[in-house]
Amino acid sequence: MTGASRGIGRAIALAFRAEGARVVGTRTSGDGAGDDACHEYLVADFADMEQTRACAAAVRALAPDVLVNNAGINKIAPFAEIDPADFLRIQQVNVVAPFLLCQAVIPGMKARGWGRIVSLSSIWGKIGKEYRASYSTSKFAIDGLTLALAVEHAADGILANCVAPGFTDTELTRRVLGEDGIAALTAMVPARRMGSVEDVAGLVLWLGGPSNNYVTGQNIAIDGGFARA
């Protein structure tokens, strides 16, 4: 799984490892040594196409049963002021890297007749918000990519889905928003709390596991009801 060293990605890695899976994650720096979340890491900066291709080749050789595309970046800006270089970098990390990794795992999954692909979208890949054109573009693209995979490969035993987290309680969220910002935010959520990383991990674990035999092509919000309120 990508982006496994912190936040939601780390929680997902821990959830799969607790179920006995051998977990190989990615991170942008380090020596590739494992920790309590992942048995080992592939080191790759997905903003770099050469590193992304090398990572995809390594993943193809691993031939995993489950792929979780979690790594992503964001940069907020008014639409008319978006730097095209920033826009393209976000698409490279959030869309091109998952695309290449999906291509890498399909042959092995198809040969075995079983595979699960879960990609992290966002509520901003289901609904809109100002200043997020670059990010929303990438997350709507992940939804389209996932649907195409699901339609083409369901008969091969490969199920592909998106999970779209809403406001999630991470260290970064708390650092950026502060307690006052978090209080204002949670007041807008019907559940009156942010999601936890464990909430998201539990859904990804189910979609990526053997209990899921028929759910595919979906973009499932996990947001305490925010996007539907």
The 10s digit of each residue's pLDDT in 29-44 is: 888 888 999 999 999 9
Residues involved in catalysis: 135
Domain ranges of the chain: 65-228
Backbone angles phi, psi at 164, to 5 degrees: -115, 90
Per the CB < 8 A criterion, the answer to whether 175 and 131 are in contact is no
Q: What is the pTM of this model?
A: 0.95
How is residue 144 annotated by DSSP? H
What the block records as the tokens of 28 is 């942008």
Output the pLDDT for position 47: 97
Homologous superfamily of the 65-228 domain (CATH): NAD(P)-binding Rossmann-like Domain (3.40.50.720)
Q: Choose between 173 and 125: higher pLDDT.
A: 125
pLDDT digits (tens, 9 = 90+) for 4-58: 999 999 999 999 999 999 999 999 988 888 899 999 999 999 999 999 999 999 9
Give 161's strand partners: 118
Buried b (16+ CB within 10 A) or exposed e, 51-64: bbeebbeebbebeb
Q: Is 123 exposed, middle or buried (0-12, 13-18, 19+ CB in 10 A)?
A: buried
The answer to whether 136 touches 128, Cβ cutoff 8 Å, is yes
Instruction: Return the pLDDT at 34.
Output: 87
